[in-house]
């Protein structure tokens, strides 16, 4: 299944997500979840087909990692929704997954078959998948924290259930992001000789990680310091995360990175 | 129900520096330590590379362990309660993140590079003198690192116990990694070695000079495989890729699916030869010999005019010149027409068949390739590079040799930390 297939499957899954979100708004959460999952399934079918076609895991180019993101995001959204039934959660993951699907259709990257020797490793697949999974979760926490901040500033009240969702998602997302980092470190020792070299990608991953660690620790403070400020850490962390993932090539430090793959 | 927010303060109306200390006090103390670090940096220059060389790092490790162990019986003391408090950790984490932000925005020099020789006359700029170009070997960073090691160590010692295992695995794992990475930095040895095919080398090259090592490498064979090349459109007037250098139009040659599109052309790869030599005027024939190139017979059809062009393409190498295909005279949007060319193929695998001899009599014969280093005594031997202008014909292979005696400690840390991460991921909190 080559990329040409995605010109049809991409918009199809985006349509499923869009309708799914609409159905949730209209008060049919069960049907909405099913539609959102169906969209993820279509994406998964394409990923598997592309994998077979390329003869390697489709995890190397930006376009390929976007595919995984639009697969995991709805999945994480539905799982979280079953536990914390916020409609906006499903709408948010649907919109974001659709954006990435559409991006892949209108801005196809150069999809080269070549997998450079450094990427031929058993760590490759778990490393990228762990990160994609954590990115999906942490994206949801950024939006949830904005919702909580709105509660706080508009009414001076706080939704405890929403806090439970945010804190759990941060814990799980952080666990996954650190597992991604550990697989990356052990892999780096195999491929480049050292487990941590402060490569620009590693440096920004550290900034991202530290930001979420700060949130996690601040929430342990029983004195509950400045809730608005603490919540604001999550969108900031997501900004750093986006710089690490997508924005790195625009920074002056990028040319030195060994993480830049076309 | 949504309850109203209550701001809990353990000590109401606490004045600055009244116990227990919080975020402001932590920020002032950590800030003061960092300023001290900057003063040291300004006056002393970067940290000497051998500051923590063996056995000084062992002594430092002992001191850190002792201090941490001391924290347990003294956990009720003000000092250790502050050191392991949430405010102190949070400010420390934020300070570390700020230094990492500097590293992420200001291009860094190699930690052991000599500033004077790299920067030339401009080396006295305040940015350089404050260590912002080599953050990881600057005094303020070291001060933060040390405070992190002390705080984390005390936190682990005080929280030690099975009931808090997720906390423990995460903090202890991270602590061990930071110990191994920081204290082991001075002992870590990294050498480069270039071995000619058929030859033996025992000297490492250090910026033009050679240093004898305690092991020798014999290169029996250097093997390289390449992926099929890509086809590109080139503007003949400039010699640059079309439509632009940053986003060139490319067609991946794929024997399984020989047809596709490139720019405004239908492309068909009629024949692809992974190893070929030129035959006659413009032809190629398959041949597994030294100096063979990738070659393809390609047909390109202009989708607007229906005009077809056919010819052999190769990117060439040291023996065979490149060969491309002119695609007509062009139209209004590209007045010079276009040329279809093949790109240099990308490496799929490069591997050195070596035999390694160490001074104490060990011998090992193995293949070294990217992602598959070879262990010889304390050394790990990595495949690094080769003569890229010669590609598969390279007459030498470049190796990187790394010795890190503290690696086992880092791996122990990674093992514990990964279990802690699993614990975080699995165990949700109400």
Residues from chain A contacting residue B136 (CB–CB below 8 Å): 198
Asked, for residue A137, whether it belongs to a domain, the answer is: yes
Asked, for residue A90, whether it belongs to a domain, the answer is: yes
pLDDT exceeds 70 at position B284: yes
Q: What pTM was estimated for this model as a whole?
A: 0.85
The two structure tokens encoding residue A154: 């508009």
> Are A145 and A70 part of one and the same domain?
no
> Are A123 and A235 part of one and the same domain?
yes
Instruction: Please state which of the ranges A116-120, A123-127, B244-248 shows the lowest mean pLDDT.
Output: B244-248
Q: In what order do the strands lie in the sheet with B396-403?
A: B363-369, B347-358, B209-226, B200-206, B189-196, B396-403, B379-386, B374-376
Q: Would you place residue B330 in the very low, low, confident or very high pLDDT band (cuts 50, 70, 90)?
A: low
**Of A64, A85, A109, which residue sits at a domain end?**
A109
B3:A178 CB<8 A: no
Q: Is B237 on the interface with A (CB under 8 A)?
A: no
**Of A68, A83, A109, which residue sits at a domain end?**
A109
**What integer pLDDT is reported at residue A71 of this predicted model?**
92
pLDDT exceeds 90 at position A86: no
For chain A, positions 20-79, list CB contacts with chain B under 8 A: none
> Are A151 and A102 part of one and the same domain?
no
pLDDT digits (tens, 9 = 90+) for B132-175: 988 999 999 999 999 999 999 999 999 888 888 999 999 999 99
> Are A160 and A82 part of one and the same domain?
no
ipTM over 0.90: no
Average pLDDT over residues A252-259: 70
Q: Would you place residue B81 in the very low, low, confident or very high pLDDT band (cuts 50, 70, 90)?
A: very high
- Nearest-Cα distance to chain B for A215, in Å, is 8
pLDDT exceeds 60 at position B417: yes
> Are A87 and A175 part of one and the same domain?
no
**What integer pLDDT is reported at residue B357 of this predicted model?**
93
CA atoms within 13 A on the CB side of A19: 12
Asked, for residue A204, whether it belongs to a domain, the answer is: yes
Q: Is B245 exposed, middle or buried (0-12, 13-18, 19+ CB in 10 A)?
A: exposed
Q: Is A224 on the interface with B (CB under 8 A)?
A: yes
B346:A189 CB<8 A: no
> Are A184 and A236 part of one and the same domain?
yes
Provide the Cα torsion A147, A148, A150, A151; round to 10°: 120
**What integer pLDDT is reported at residue B3 of this predicted model?**
40
pLDDT digits (tens, 9 = 90+) for A30-40: 999 999 999 99
Please give the Cα distance from B287 to B275 (Å, whole number).
6
For chain B, positions 352-391, list CB contacts with chain A under 8 A: 369-373, 380, 382
> Are A95 and A142 part of one and the same domain?
no
A118:B2 CB<8 A: no
Q: Is B181 on the interface with A (CB under 8 A)?
A: yes
Asked, for residue A262, whether it belongs to a domain, the answer is: no
Helix, strand, coil fractions of chain B, as percent rounded to 5? 35, 30, 35
pLDDT exceeds 60 at position B430: no
DSSP assigned state of B242: S
> Are A98 and A140 part of one and the same domain?
no
The two structure tokens encoding residue B22: 């919080």
- Nearest-Cα distance to chain A for B281, in Å, is 31
Range among A66-75, B61-70, B232-241, B248-257 with highest mean pLDDT value: B61-70
Asked, for residue A11, whether it belongs to a domain, the answer is: yes
pLDDT digits (tens, 9 = 90+) for B48-80: 888 888 899 999 999 999 999 999 999 889 999
> Are A148 and A91 part of one and the same domain?
no
Provide the Cα torsion B312, B317, B318, B322; round to 10°: 40
Give the range of the structural domain holding residue A236, as residue numbers without chain letter: 116-253
Residues from chain A contacting residue B101 (CB–CB below 8 Å): 207
Asked, for residue A135, whether it belongs to a domain, the answer is: yes
Question: Count of domains in chain A?
Answer: 2
**Of A60, A86, A109, which residue sits at a domain end?**
A109
pLDDT digits (tens, 9 = 90+) for B389-408: 778 888 999 999 999 999 99
Residues A138 and B391: beta-carbon distance below 8 Å: no
> Are A81 and A190 part of one and the same domain?
no
pLDDT digits (tens, 9 = 90+) for B17-52: 888 889 999 999 999 999 999 999 999 988 888 888
Q: Is B18 on the interface with A (CB under 8 A)?
A: no
How many A×B Cβ pairs under 8 Å?
168
Would you tell me how many other CB atoms lie within 10 Å of the CB of residue B106? 15
> Are A95 and A131 part of one and the same domain?
no
Asked, for residue A104, whether it belongs to a domain, the answer is: yes
Residues from chain A contacting residue B97 (CB–CB below 8 Å): 206-207, 210-211, 214
Which residue did the predictor score with more confidence, B121 or A106? Answer: A106
Asked, for residue A258, whether it belongs to a domain, the answer is: no
> Are A160 and A242 part of one and the same domain?
yes
User: What residues does B396 pair with on adjacent strands?
Assistant: B196
Residues A77 and A93: beta-carbon distance below 8 Å: yes
């Amino acid at each position: 299944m080559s990329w040409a297939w995605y010109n049809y499957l991409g918009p199809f899954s985006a349509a499923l997500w869009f309708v799914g979100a609409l159905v949730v708004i209209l008060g049919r959460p069960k049907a909405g979840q099913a539609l959102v999952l169906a969209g993820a399934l279509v994406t998964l079918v394409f990923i598997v087909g592309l994998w077979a076609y390329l003869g390697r895991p489709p995890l190397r180019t930006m376009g390929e990692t976007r595919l995984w993101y639009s697969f995991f995001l709805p999945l994480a959204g539905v799982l979280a929704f079953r536990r914390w039934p916020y409609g906006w959660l499903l709408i948010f993951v649907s919109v974001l997954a659709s954006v990435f699907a559409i991006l892949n259709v209108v801005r196809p990257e150069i999809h080269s078959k070549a997998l450079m020797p450094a990427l031929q490793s058993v760590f490759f697949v778990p490393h990228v998948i762990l990160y994609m999974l954590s990115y999906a979760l942490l994206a949801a926490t950024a939006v949830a924290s904005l919702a909580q901040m709105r509660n706080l500033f508009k009414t001076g009240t706080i939704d405890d259930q929403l806090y439970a969702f945010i804190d759990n998602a941060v814990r799980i997302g952080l666990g996954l992001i650190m597992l991604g980092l550990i697989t990356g470190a052990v892999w780096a020792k195999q491929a480049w000789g050292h487990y941590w070299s402060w490569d620009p990608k590693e440096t920004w991953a550290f900034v991202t990680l530290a930001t979420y660690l700060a949130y996690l620790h601040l929430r342990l403070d029983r004195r509950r310091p400045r809730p608005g400020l603490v919540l604001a850490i999550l969108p900031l962390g997501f900004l750093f995360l986006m710089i690490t993932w997508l924005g790195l090539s625009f920074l002056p430090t990028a040319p030195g990175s060994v993480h830049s793959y076309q | 129900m949504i309850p109203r927010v209550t701001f809990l303060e353990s000590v109401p109306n606490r004045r600055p520096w009244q116990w227990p200390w919080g975020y402001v006090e932590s920020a002032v103390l950590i800030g003061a330590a960092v300023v001290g670090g900057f003063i040291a940096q300004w006056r002393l220059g970067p940290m000497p590379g051998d500051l923590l060389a063996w056995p000084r790092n062992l002594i430092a490790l002992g001191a850190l362990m002792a201090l941490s162990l001391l924290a347990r019986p003294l956990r009720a003391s003000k000092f250790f309660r502050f050191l392991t408090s949430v405010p102190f950790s949070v400010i420390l984490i934020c300070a570390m993140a700020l230094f990492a932000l500097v590293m992420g925005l200001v291009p860094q020099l190699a930690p052991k590079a000599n500033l004077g020789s790299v920067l030339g006359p401009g080396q006295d700029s305040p940015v350089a003198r404050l260590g912002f170009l080599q953050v990881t070997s600057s005094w303020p960073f070291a001060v933060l690192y040390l405070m992190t090691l002390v705080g984390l160590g005390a936190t682990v010692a005080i929280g030690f116990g099975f009931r808090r295992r997720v906390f423990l695995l995460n903090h202890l794992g991270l602590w061990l990694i930071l110990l191994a990475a920081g204290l082991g930095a001075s002992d870590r040895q990294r050498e480069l070695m270039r071995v000619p095919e058929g030859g033996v080398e025992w000297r490492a090259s250090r910026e033009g000079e050679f240093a004898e090592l305690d092991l020798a490498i014999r290169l029996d064979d250097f093997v390289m495989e390449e992926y099929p090349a890509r086809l590109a459109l080139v503007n003949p007037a400039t010699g640059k890729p079309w439509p632009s250098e940053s986003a060139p139009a490319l067609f991946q040659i794929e024997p399984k699916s020989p047809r596709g599109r490139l720019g405004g052309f239908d492309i068909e790869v009629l024949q692809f030869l992974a190893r070929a030599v030129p035959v006659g005027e413009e032809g190629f024939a398959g041949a597994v010999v030294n100096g063979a190139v990738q070659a393809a017979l390609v047909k390109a059809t202009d989708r607007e005019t229906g005009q077809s062009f056919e010819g052999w393409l190769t990117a060439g190498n040291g023996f065979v010149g490149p060969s491309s295909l002119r695609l007509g005279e062009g139209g209004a949007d590209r007045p010079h027409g276009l040329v279809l060319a093949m790109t240099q193929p990308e490496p799929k695998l490069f591997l050195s068949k070596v035999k390694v001899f160490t001074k104490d009599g060990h011998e090992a014969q193995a293949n070294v390739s990217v992602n598959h280093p070879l262990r010889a005594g304390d050394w790990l031997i990595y495949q690094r590079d080769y003569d890229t202008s010669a590609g598969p014909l390279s007459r030498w292979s470049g190796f990187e040799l790394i010795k890190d005696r503290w690696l086992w400690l880092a791996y122990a840390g990674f093992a514990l930390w990964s279990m802690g991460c699993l614990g975080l991921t699995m165990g949700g909190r109400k």
